[in-house]
Chain A
Amino acid sequence: MMPETQTRNAPEKAVIIRTLGLEKSYGMGDATTYALRGIATTIFRSEFIAVMGPSGSGKSTFFNMIGALDAPTRGRILIDEVDVAQLSAVELAFLRCQKIGYIFQSYNLIRYMTALENVTVPMTFAGVVPEEARRRGLELLALVGLKDRWGHRPIEMSGGQQQRVAIARSMSNNPKILLADEPTANLDFKTGQDILEILQRINRERGVTIVCSTHDHRLLNVCDRIMWIRDGLVERVESRENIRIKLGNMGGET
């Protein structure tokens, strides 16, 4: 994964996710409701992009699409220049297992597994032998600062710790993309800060592309770009340098 850090500062950024005229509608005829109305966007390799938007804006739908969890009604999603719609079930499972790491708002750790077992589940699916999985799992737990708690179950950990385990799990097969769905929404101010720092570190040190949906304005301090979604359309995309100036208006915006 390290070579990707070198491309970060290259003038021509490599594209990792591209969507073309992405539409998603539910129902038929007059009752059709649109969640997405044609999103065309590009996400570059190794960037940290925040997706913001009010509830019902289609943010979650967009997220499911680029995570290859849902199929669009119209339009295309290209991940690493591969059309997701063309993938077979096995290839989709491969994509979810190896290329994308998911971080959820409610952590979604498996209740009856220890931290280490949780982290190594995706490695099992990837065919990593148990000893290797254990070694890498402990490494990842060390990365999120929970090496000592490897034998604890989710119920024995705080929300912040659970989310850190979830981050370690999302990293278990060295994915190129991390999709974080409101990772700090269930956490208090301080722990949310810790989570964001870990995400930023992963982005900076490992060159992992991070797409993070959020309402958390602190995220604006760590991300490279912000994508605003409203009524199923991309309202605007701004880079962080620009947003800093407008920070005063943020409260009214979201």
Chain B
Amino acid sequence: MKAIIAQSQVALGPARGIQLALSGMSYRMFRSAVTIAILALATAFLVHMLVYGLLAGQTERNAYAELSRLRGFGEQITRLARADSAPRIVSTLALGQPARLAEYQRWAKRDVGEFARGRAVAERLARVRQSLTELPPTAQAVLIGDLTPDELLESLREPATLARFNKKLADLQLGAAAVNQPELVQLVTLEMGSLQQLTTAIATGHQEAVRGFSLKFPNRTAEVVAAEPPADWGISLSSLGFSRDGNLAELADFARNARDERTISELLLEADVRSSVARELNLLPKDVDLQTTLAYALRAEHAEWLAGVLAQLNAPKHLNGPRIQAIAEVFKHRARLEEILGDRVPSADGGFLGLPERLRWLVLLSFLVCVVGVANAMLMSVTERFTEIATIKCLGAMDGFVMMLFVFEAAIQGVIGGVLGLVLGLLLAALRGAAEYGALFFSIGEIGGQLLLGMLFSFVVGVLLAALAAVGPSWVAARLSPMEAMRVE
């Protein structure tokens, strides 16, 4: 029988304990509500901190990445527009890329056979270079010395040097397999010269072509090149760092926008346009600038109106309403990114779940307050139930059961508070994010896992807080003497 009571309290305990805790809570609705509210607020605070921190960090990183890309485009365009860009383009050219043969051919004004021979020479050159590097170290020291294989081959174009080299080669008695002497001689005496001629021709042709383009479109080389890249200009662009083919379309897009923005801002300098825009926007003519004008043109009918005004001044034909609206949207987007970031560079690592150092103390402190608040509420709940607790102890409840009763109560409140706090915190984070960053905020993307982790963490912390706060009061309840039941208020 004694064993039964100990067992039954364990076995029947949890179900009955939860039931008792629930009915007890429903009877003390107000106090439970206060406890739940405190827990919900603490959890909401943490969820809000974590979710907002994570998403804000992500948003800033996204914004930074996009802005860096756009700034990169800007830099590339500027680089392309520099006076020395043509020689630089040429200097970075490389030969031996079949895909670009057609383009080289056009610049060098040579026929296909010549290019084929050029390629054969280049291949042979590579082979000889290879065989020289594969010589035994002693032979390399004698034959090449401090020179690089290329410098050696260049020096061998002197007949005297070549003769000396041949003699050294014969003395070493390496055999025919090591260095193909006739091929080497043919290469250095005949073919290297023709290859050099071909390379020079290509470089000159390219240089002339770029210069010609620059002359044709003075001051706007880059924009034009980038905005409407002729098929021939692929290499010129890629030699300047636009090697990623996918970027070319985007770069062109960027360049088109830059060009059109510039066109519009130039047109805005015209007195007629300026005054009519000023009238429409209710501004002084001196206050009219690109930003206000484009902000106004965000709406379709305003964009149409602006297109009409610009059309009177020989604006390019493609600057119609929809186009202006599109430019305005891109402009706004970029301005928004600039505004979000300012001059800041977001750190890649946001600390624990994106929680900045200085906020960690705040969170810790708020938890402390929460624990104290909940512990107080629980203690009140215990104190006002002294008689009840003592009575059930008189009726045979063991300390463990009483303890369990209060821990369950705290746990139930913790779970309810946690769920409420989760919802509240997410709502707050969403509202604050929307106010701060707009739609950009909700690009959850790759941090989805971290967000879930953050939410789970907050929830668990909420429940743990409740449990932690319940330990003391539950202990008080469990240790309460059953004699209290005899006391008469």
Contact = CB atoms under 8 A, between A and B. Distances in A.
Interface stretch (B103-111, B225-233, B477-485): B477-485
Contacts of A108: 387-388, 391, 485
B5 to A, nearest CB: 5
Interface string A1-15: 000000000000000
Given A90-B2, A90-B5, A69 B398 contact: no
> In which size bucket is the chain B interface?
20 to 34
B359 interface: no
B394 A102 contact: yes
A168 B11 CA distance: 25
A173 B4 CA distance: 14
Interface in A156-190: 169, 173, 181
B388 A110 contact: yes
Counting chain B CB atoms within 10 Å of each CB, the highest count among A94, A98, A122, A124 belongs to A124
Contacts of A125: 5, 8-9, 392, 395-397, 401
A96 B12 contact: no
A104 B392 contact: no
How would you classify the secondary structure of chain B's contact residues: helix, strand, loop or mixed? helix
Contacts of A122: 395-396
Contacts of B24: 112
Counting chain A CB atoms within 10 Å of each CB, the highest count among B11, B16, B393, B488 belongs to B488
A250 interface: no
Contacts of B247: none
Interface in B19-36: 23-24, 26-27
5 contacts: A93-B397, A96-B394, A102-B485, A111-B27, A125-B401
Contact of A89 (B27, B388, B398): B398
A105 B395 contact: no
Counting chain B CB atoms within 10 Å of each CB, the highest count among A63, A89, A90 belongs to A90
B6 interface: yes
B432 to A, nearest CB: 41
Given A90-B398, A121-B392, 18 more contacts: A64-B486, A67-B394, A69-B483, A93-B396, A93-B397, A94-B396, A97-B5, A98-B1, A102-B394, A104-B486, A105-B486, A106-B488, A106-B489, A111-B388, A113-B23, A125-B392, A127-B8, A173-B396
Nearest to B482: A69
**Shortest 7 CB-CB distances between A and B: which pairs?**
A97-B396, A127-B8, A112-B27, A125-B396, A122-B395, A108-B391, A93-B398
B486 A69 contact: yes
A126 B396 contact: yes
B155 interface: no
Counting chain B CB atoms within 10 Å of each CB, the highest count among A64, A70, A104, A122 belongs to A104
B16 to A, nearest CB: 5
Contacts of A69: 394, 481-483, 485-486
Nearest to A169: B395
A18 to B, nearest CB: 21
B7 interface: yes
Interface string B407-446: 0000000000000000000000000000000000000000
Contacts of A110: 388, 391-392
Contacts of A94: 1-2, 5, 396
Contacts of A90: 2, 5-6, 398
A60 interface: yes
B399 interface: yes
Contacts of B391: 102, 104, 108, 110
Contacts of A98: 1, 5, 396
Interface in B40-89: none
Contacts of A216: none
Contacts of B8: 124-127
A60 B24 CA distance: 29
Contacts of A97: 5, 395-396
A187 to B, nearest CB: 13
A197 interface: no
Contacts of B26: 112
A91 interface: yes
A13 B57 CA distance: 85
A69 B485 CA distance: 10
A127 B12 contact: yes
Interface string A101-144: 01011101011110000000110111100000000000000000
A126 B13 CA distance: 11
B398 A126 contact: no
A93 B398 CA distance: 6
A102 B26 CA distance: 27
B488 A105 contact: yes
